Structure 1
């Protein structure tokens, strides 16, 4: 059997820093909808199922934008936002809160926690993409 050299394997280049979106959502159905919408729009998407996981993924991956639910098991979205905004390595990452909590108090609490934008569920796909593009143009 003859030895043939294998062609060089080309690995894809890593995404530029900050070109991905982290979706932190405990509802699998909602998370899948966001992932499908964002990937079809050309974004690289990371996922987290709760606030603590969102903090870990954000610190490790440094996404360009975070979409964060508020009501999740364990660490809430608001607490995760506070942690990320207190960390010098992640504080500049914009965070959009997307929540079923739609009262004015909830909006104020979200902004006080440090989020950059607040959207009440349900969010129309076009509206979500409009907000995403404000922070992470394509």
Structure 2
């Protein structure tokens, strides 16, 4: 089974980096550049995992997360939030959910890979 990962990121350089990296590892990647598309594409494709920037045009990643939680078809999808802000600053808006993680920019692809391996099984992915 190929893992399906949805990336929501408004910075084209980071979006391209993540898309290229995850595709090269054999994943099917869906990309969006704002929070509105995030909820729509998640419901449409039901990915195994979402990687979302916190601050994007249209809606914050955390706001889109709240929309995902209200939809039975998307509420169990794990999410990795990415942001340039510190975890301490974001702790107030990030959900306290065992299916969510946070990684700070600049991104470490190794750290991201560890989080992906940890969360993919929670999203129904079986290699």
Task: Flag the structure with more relative contact order, 1 or 2, with Cα contacts below 8 A and sequence separation at least 6.
Answer: 2
**CA deviation string 1:28-74 (max 9, x = no partner):** 10000001111111111000100000111000000000001011111
Which residue of 19, 35, 52 maps to 1:68?
52
Question: For residue 35 of structure 2, what is the aligned residue in structure 1?
Answer: 51
Q: Unaligned 5+ residue runs, structure 2?
A: 122-126
Question: Structure 1 residues 89 and 60, CA, compared in 2 at 3 Å: closer, same or farther?
Answer: same
Question: For residue 24 of structure 2, what is the aligned residue in structure 1?
Answer: 40
Q: TM-score, normalised by structure 1?
A: 0.81
State the Cα distance separating 1:88 from its structure 2 match: 0.9
Question: Structure 1 residues 103 and 95, CA, compared in 2 at 3 Å: closer, same or farther?
Answer: closer
Q: TM-score, normalised by structure 2?
A: 0.87
**CA deviation string 1:88-126 (max 9, x = no partner):** 110000011011111403034212489611111112111
Q: Unaligned 5+ residue runs, structure 1?
A: 1-14
Q: Distance in 1 between matches of 2:10 and 2:83?
A: 11
Question: For residue 83 of structure 2, what is the aligned residue in structure 1?
Answer: 99
Which residue of 92, 96, 118 maps to 1:134?
118
User: Structure 1 segments of 4 or more deviating over 4 A?
Assistant: 112-115
Q: Note the aligned Cα RMSD (angstroms).
A: 2.0
Q: For residue 72 of structure 2, give the secondary structure of its aligned residue in structure 1.
A: coil
* 1:88 has 2:72 as partner: yes
